[in-house]
Structure 1
Amino acid sequence: MPEAAAAVQDAAPRAVPDGAQPEERGVRRGVGPVLEQFPGVARIVVLRGGGLGDLMFAMPALDALAAAYPEAEITLLGTPLHAALLAGRPGPVHRVEVLPVAPGIRPGPEDPAALAAFMDSMRARSFDLAVQVHGGGRNSNPFLLQLGAAHTVGTRTPDAAPLERTIPYVYYQHEILRALEVAGLAGAVPVSLEPQLEVLSAEEEKAAAFVAPDRDLVTLHPGATDPRRRWPASAFAALAVRAAADGCQVLVVGDDGDRELAEHITALGLAAAGPGADIGSVAGKLDIGTLAALLKASAVMIGNDSGPRHLAQAVGTPTVGIYWFGNAINAGAMGRTRHRVHMSWVSACPVCGADVTQVGWTAERCPHDDSFVAAVDPEAVYADVAELRAAPSA
């Protein structure tokens, strides 16, 4: 990807005296090149739509930008869920502007008038720096350029519009590190490698109504946008039975779309565990802030590669993740003291044999939705749950 690489090389770090030590030369270490900061930056806009997990992946980069430009106001262009989660919450984002429907930006019925009004409103803000951490750039880079910011940085596939400074978009890279590498293009050094989210006291009060005070809470999230990332309901139910037998309260969490699956898992668990087992579902019953507080109250959270697992990590809860190995590269927890990852090594579709390691623009997705992670062993997962419960709090 020579054009993208050249964009980084053109924006070279400051010159330094020969023979100077790194700290004397002002060399700053990042995920990739940490380039010169842009002068006079008072207003930063960051493009990161998508789901809950996508926002979590961007949080360390937002922290880095806030540290590099402490006087700047940071605006996130995100989704209604992002706005609901970040409203009134301490952190690097000062405001969230909800993205309009646009191809590759936010799905839904297109409204050209609403898109034009959004762009007019954003251009009037006169952003000094626009940061694209939304994807490869085919759709997101033209969208970002329409904002009219003085400086632009982001990722880029070879066929995407160039920005002032870019890094190559290569699919298999951890999303947190990718966003931090982009932040480095703007001169921002990493200050964190994990998303960190503060839970509000009002949210904790609401979540307390669902929590048994005298036992460990174990939360399960069985959903995922891509059905191939979902561990079978029977496996989650087996986990619920084991946790309940060990005296835990078990709650299945999720949004409205997960409600039926969560109730099915609860029914399976109760049928196997017998009377008195504390297994229930709150899927579809919690707003996003209360979910964050419930996850914080959990001793351990177990989930597929999905937003609630990433949110649990951000509020400081130990997690056990069920991952297809390709997703673990892009989205798995990095540490192992408080987080465990169980991977399946499926490289071909279980139905048609298509190579599923080729993703995005490199190959068409086969039509089958059979789980890639069905073979992950519930006994091995529960062993990690038990170990994390027994570990002293960090």
Structure 2
Amino acid sequence: MVTPTTAAPALAVGPLAPRFEDVERIAVLRGGGLGDLLFALPAVEALAAAYPAARITLLGTPLHADLLAGRPGPVAGVEVLPLARGVRESPGREEDPAGTDRFLDRLAARQFDLAVQVHGGGRFSNPFLLRLGARHTVGTRTPDAAALERTIPYRYYQHEVLRALEVVGLAGAPPVMLEPRVTVTEAERAGARELRAPGAPALLVVHPGATDARRRWPPARFADVAAAAAAAGAQVVVVGAGEDVPAAEEIVDRARAALPPAARSRVTSRAGRLTLPGLTGLLAEADVLLGNDSGPRHLAQAVGAATVGVYWFGNVINAGPLGRARHRVHLGWMTTCPVCGRDVTSETAPRCEHEDSFVADIGVEPVRADVLDLLAAPSGGVGPW
């Protein structure tokens, strides 16, 4: 049980515990994908504000290191996690126990004052964190996880940003922001401006990918929206990783087929051809991002683009944008697997093996309407933030 301070700020998420004394070195454990890092950034900002003299080290992934390298922000450095079960896993690659030992021994020598776990329920991440030997530890915990000095219960259905903010509240760090922000470098912006079509009144970026196949809207639906945006005069650029190239090509082909010849060149694909800095700059240059619940959608929001997101309703609880003036959400309401009928809303039941989309029933018309509305007024009528 954490005893809150007597004067908790109104923005505190959960208990606000007393700050720890003499904190100079902080480690934050957050593996996973691009979105996972972004969800943790408001909590890192809170730590930086509460402990302004401390150096914050992120224990993250190569993707996190790529995004944060040379970028202004509260993270002083990124240590790339070793391959370890439940902490950092990679398909087709085995765990590296020896590498994990070396990693933890090296970081333990830094003598962290505070170690923060915002990586799942703690079954694997809490023992990993404890091996750092930090003076103080905070994080989430399921009933089967090792105890830290201060913890909150882990329940799956909680917004990841608010979960991380509740965790750092255990260290006496109230929120200073509620949504992630990523500073875009001038080099990233300059590279993106080279991709803008001269004279195009607006830029729509389309991202049809998602790590989980069940979150993917059909390419034909994206193509319908892309064609409508191009018909209205907007430039449309489809983006994605290498595995998204076939979907991107289908979107471009279908959209162009629906357009008159003079408008077809407005729809192009950069899927598989952008670096992470290149994607960051393009999203910052975009007026609107249309995409599934995925890292690029979250990054687009963090760099200032308006977004239209296609979500399974359960994922909105964990990862949806908080506002609606500049960020529109369209929901798939499927509660059972469309193949086997298994309940897909349970927090604890094992996942079935099927990959059929949970969002395929979302129609084109409401998505198209929101995209065109935001392209006409990407600030949502309230001015840019």
Give the alignment's TM-score, normalised by structure 1: 0.93
Query: Are 1:314 and 2:296 matched, yes or no?
Result: no
Corresponding residue number in structure 2 for 1:333: 321
Query: Are 1:89 and 2:71 matched, yes or no?
Result: yes
Alignment of 1:313-392 (within 5 A): 313-359=301-347, 362-391=348-377, 392=381
Corresponding residue number in structure 2 for 1:4: none
* Amino acid of the structure 2 residue aligned with 1:73: R
SS for the counterpart of 2:57 is: strand
Corresponding residue number in structure 2 for 1:74: 56
Alignment of 1:269-280 (within 5 A): 269-276=255-262, 277=264, 278-280=266-268
Asked if structure 1 preserves the Cα contact closer than 8 Å seen for 2:160 and 2:318, the reply is yes
Corresponding residue number in structure 2 for 1:222: 208
CA offsets, 1:105-156, max 9 Å, x none?
A: 1113222221111111100111000000010000100000011111000000
CA offsets, 1:323-356, max 9 Å, x none?
A: 0000011100010111010001110111111111
Measure, in 2, the Cα distance between the counterparts of 1:328 and 1:284. 27
Q: How many corresponding residue pairs?
A: 373
Asked if structure 1 preserves the Cα contact closer than 8 Å seen for 2:220 and 2:250, the reply is no
Measure, in 2, the Cα distance between the counterparts of 1:112 and 1:171. 28
Measure, in 1, the Cα distance between the counterparts of 2:149 and 2:249. 50
Query: Are 1:149 and 2:134 matched, yes or no?
Result: yes
* Amino acid of the structure 2 residue aligned with 1:75: T
Query: Are 1:195 and 2:180 matched, yes or no?
Result: yes
Alignment of 1:6-85 (within 5 A): 9=1, 11-14=2-5, 25-29=6-10, 30-85=12-67
5+ long unaligned stretches in structure 2: none
Measure, in 2, the Cα distance between the counterparts of 1:80 and 1:193. 25
SS for the counterpart of 2:261 is: coil
Query: Are 1:206 and 2:191 matched, yes or no?
Result: yes
Cα deviation, residue 36, structure 1? 0.3
* Amino acid of the structure 1 residue aligned with 2:139: G
SS for the counterpart of 2:44 is: helix
Asked if structure 1 preserves the Cα contact closer than 8 Å seen for 2:23 and 2:54, the reply is yes
Measure, in 2, the Cα distance between the counterparts of 1:60 and 1:241. 36
2:250 to 264, 273, 276: 264
* Amino acid of the structure 1 residue aligned with 2:273: K
5+ long unaligned stretches in structure 1: 1-8, 15-24
Corresponding residue number in structure 1 for 2:233: 247
RMSD over aligned Cα, in angstroms? 1.1
1:185 to 170, 173, 179: 170
Asked if structure 1 preserves the Cα contact closer than 8 Å seen for 2:204 and 2:375, the reply is no
Shifted more, 136-145 versus 350-359: the winner is: 350-359
CA offsets, 1:359-380, max 9 Å, x none?
A: 4xx1111111111101111110
2:111 to 101, 126, 134: 126
Cα deviation, residue 274, structure 1? 4.0
Cα deviation, residue 319, structure 1? 0.2
Measure, in 2, the Cα distance between the counterparts of 1:102 and 1:322. 32
Asked if structure 1 preserves the Cα contact closer than 8 Å seen for 2:224 and 2:255, the reply is yes
